[in-house]
């Protein structure tokens, strides 16, 4: 089943309206550029923070939200996946950088990367998300995830759906914040149907 971007958003909103109480106070972390906030349900006070994993897929030169999260939940572990060294910002001050491009499967793909303030499409090796999680986080359950990888995120998000590649590998994101862009070029398929 191939899910269109529009159908994904409809299903996502239905899930939120069904399962999230209306009177909850969300954690809001200012991203630091473009006026964007990352918004999540707060951790329960009884939850052991040292078990909490935050994963940013695409650091993109700004990490204010991750810094604010670490200040609020100091015992949590913060990880960021980013293939472009000049986009790490000061992420390593409070988190671990995983210096690779990521997808649903291993391979070599055309990827849009940010270098400085410009974007370009380059062919690069991509490591399967399950392999990166196993190697660097030693878990496939992530409590907070943000993803913004210049249009490639839809290929990862669709594989989290039931009976798709990442779902079948047991990867779970308890909460996710993603930037989704409709790109004027063709989506790069990284997983077989």
Q: What is the mean pLDDT of the chain?
A: 83
Q: Select, from the ranges 16-20, 103-107, 146-150, the one with the highest average predicted confidence (pLDDT).
A: 103-107
As given in the structure block, the two tokens for residue 6 are 């529009």
> Which structural domain, as residue segments, surrounds residue 58?
5-15+50-178
DSSP, residue by residue, 106-132 = -EEEEEEEEETTEEEEEEEEEEEHHHH
Determine, yes or no, domain membership for 187: no
Determine, yes or no, domain membership for 93: yes
SS3 165: helix
Percent of the chain surpassing pLDDT 90: 36
| CATH code for the domain of 125 | 3.40.50
Determine, yes or no, domain membership for 192: no
As given in the structure block, the two tokens for residue 8 are 């994904």
**pLDDT over 50 at 187, yes or no:** no
Determine, yes or no, domain membership for 74: yes
Residue/partner pairs of 41-47 with CB below 8 Å, 24 or more apart: 41/175, 43/73, 43/143
Q: Name the domain count of the chain.
A: 1
- Strands 37-40 and 77-81: what pairing? unpaired
| Closest listed residue to residue 185, CA positions, set 121, 115, 100 | 121
Determine, yes or no, domain membership for 37: no
Determine, yes or no, domain membership for 135: yes
Mean pLDDT of 52-79: 93
Mean pLDDT of 129-157: 86
């Amino acid at each position: 089943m191939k899910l269109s971007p529009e159908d994904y958003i409809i299903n996502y909103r239905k899930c939120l309206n069904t399962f999230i109480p209306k009177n909850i106070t969300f954690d809001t972390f200012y991203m630091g550029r473009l006026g964007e906030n990352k918004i999540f349900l707060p951790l329960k006070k009884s939850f052991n923070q040292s078990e909490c994993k935050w994963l940013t897929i695409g650091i993109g030169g700004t990490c204010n939200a991750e810094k604010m999260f670490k200040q609020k939940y100091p015992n949590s572990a913060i990880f960021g996946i980013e293939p472009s060294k000049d986009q790490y910002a000061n992420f390593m001050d409070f988190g671990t950088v995983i210096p690779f491009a990521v997808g649903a499967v291993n391979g070599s793909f055309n990827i849009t990367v940010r270098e400085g303030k410009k974007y370009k499409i380059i062919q690069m090796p991509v490591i399967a998300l399950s392999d990166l999680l196993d190697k660097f986080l030693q878990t496939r359950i992530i409590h907070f995830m943000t993803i913004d990888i210049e249009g490639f995120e839809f290929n990862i998000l669709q594989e989290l759906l039931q009976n798709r590649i990442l779902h079948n590998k047991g990867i779970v994101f308890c909460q996710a914040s993603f930037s989704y862009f409709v790109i004027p070029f063709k989506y790069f398929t990284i997983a077989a149907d």
